Amino acid sequence: MDLMKELLKKAEQVEVVNLHNETTTVSFEANQLKSSSVAQTRGTAVRVVRDGRLGFAASSDEKAITKLAANALESAAYGDRLILKFPTAKPAQQVRTFDQKIVDLSISRLVEIGREILDLILPVEPDARVNLNLTRSVQSASLRNQTGLDIAFERSPLSFELEIDRIVGDDVLIIFDVVGTTQWNDEYLGFARRLVEKLKMARKLTRMRSGNMPVIFSPFGVLALALPLNQGLNGKSVYKGTSPMRGKIGEKLFDEKITLIDDGTLHGRPGSAPYDDEGVPHQRNVLVEKGVLKGFIYDLRTAAQFGVESTGNAERGLFNQPEPSSTNFMIQPGKTPLKDMIASISEGILVEGLLGLGQGNIISGAFSNPLALAFKIEKGEIVGRVKDMSIAGNVYDLLKNVEAVSQEAEWVYGSIHAPYVLLPQMNVVSKE
């Protein structure tokens, strides 16, 4: 049965999405290759608009098509009356999301890469326990709607997830990292080398007092600042009225060193694709430019609520309706070399990681977190790791005055690109 044809007999608008995924994973647990797995999953999701009401249904059982269609129509009987128009086909940018070299990685090659990563870490840190997942997928997605829009694309994500525990006496250090790409890169060990440097640096412990001091957020630490902004820039929280940035387009909210961009058209990034999950072309959206709020991200639904165009930021899982979501979220690098930034500080702290990120009332911009990994800076040099420290503040206050943003920037957790950010004054609390 042709779902599109069948549903169009009863509905004005129809959208049919098919997802197919093949994934291979090898898992090292405590430095040992304990398991490997393969997954072949697929599913179909349908949205219909019938008598002006939106309905949704999904199924991973391809034999249940009749029931899927019935569920979608029943859903529409109770659905939202929002006037939502599925898009017509628009030309999209060429975005590289598929690489045969990744598809061709055999399971034994993944095992080899895992060993290469362990061989970088373990000789330097024999006490480390490394959990490592190497995952390679081939995803195909197709999307059709009643306007004739009919798109399909393939992606080949490769990701390495790494967790290192190092327990020496009472000193516990845990570091996570995830790197992801859809384009093969011969420099795939670079991230592991950086981690080893971090581990070496974290060996020497030192102490510091509480007080107001300059704070450098590393690309990992910057997440504390980026997460509330990312939520506040989401059209859904703007519509809900919870975003502190609501109604402030055109206003200067931050220091002019702050520019925030969402860009789903970058080659090879995990958040990239030619189209979003509703068939709207991905684009580069400048959200904050030199401290001035320029716009928010929308999917079709939130765009319709505001009477604007979708920014191509719809994202969905098989069993959920699309929602606005950032693709690749970037804090633009600045002009200051990192070494100059560190050299400028007589006493301060470098924040590499926080515990409990994303908890609490984060959309307000307020945060208060223990530091999972942080270094003391003294007379322009990093002198050692500090423990039992915490920081608190509000992003919307803190980012009004930024001392410097580094030239250097890194991808963290796959889809956030961030530089080092130096704040001139922040309250740092030591538990000692």
Partner 1 sequence: MRDKIQAALKLSKADYTEIRIEEKESARISYQGRDLENANAVIDKGGVVRCLSRKHGWGVATFNNLDDLKNKVEQAYQCALVAQSEEPIELGPIEVIEEHIQAVMKHDFRDVSMAAKKALVENYNNILLGSSDKIIDTNSVYVDSFSHVYFANSEGTYIEEERPSVVVATTAIARDGDNVQQSHESCGGPFGFEFAQDKEEMARTAARRAVELLGAKSVVGGQYPVVADQMLAGVFIHEAFGHLSESDFVYENPKAKEMMVLGRRFGRDILNVYDDGTIPGQRGTHRFDDEGTPTRHNDLIKDGILVGRLHSRETAAKMDEKVTGNARAVSYRFPPIVRMTNTAIENGTTSFQDMIKDIKLGIYACDAYGGETMLENFSFSSGYAYMIRDGRIAEMVKDVILSGNLFTTLQNIDAIGNDFKWLAVGGGCGKGKQAPLPVGMGAPHIRIQNVVIGGQ
Please identify, using beta-carbon distances, which residue of 227 and 266 lies nearer to partner 1. 227
Residue with Cβ nearer partner 1 (10 or 129)? 129
Whole-angstrom distance, CA of residue 40 vs CA of residue 301: 31
- Give least dist CB 206 to partner 1, A: 19
Residue with tokens 């609501």: 246
* Nearest-approach distance from CB 283 to partner 1, in angstroms: 26
| Nearest CB to partner 1, comparing residues 60 and 346 | 60
Q: How far is the CB of 274 from partner 1 (least distance, A)?
A: 26
Binding interface with partner 1 (CB under 8 A): 26, 29-30, 32-43, 55-62, 64, 67-68, 71-72, 74-75, 77-80, 82, 107-108, 111, 129, 165, 167, 172, 174, 240-242, 244, 319, 321, 355-361, 363-364, 366, 368-370, 372, 390, 392-394, 427, 429, 431
Write the CA distances from 389 to 19, 211, 305, 374, 398, integer angstroms.
45, 11, 44, 8, 19
C-beta closer to partner 1: residue 23 or 344: 23
Minimum separation from the CB atom of position 295 to partner 1 (A): 21
Q: Which is nearer to partner 1, 190 or 358 (CB)?
A: 358
Q: Which residues contact 2 (CB under 8 A, 6 or more apart)?
A: none
Q: Between residues 22 and 408, which has the closer beta carbon with respect to partner 1?
A: 22
Q: In the bound complex, what is the minimum distance in angstroms from residue 66's beta carbon to partner 1?
A: 11
Least separation in angstroms between residue 198's CB and partner 1 is 16
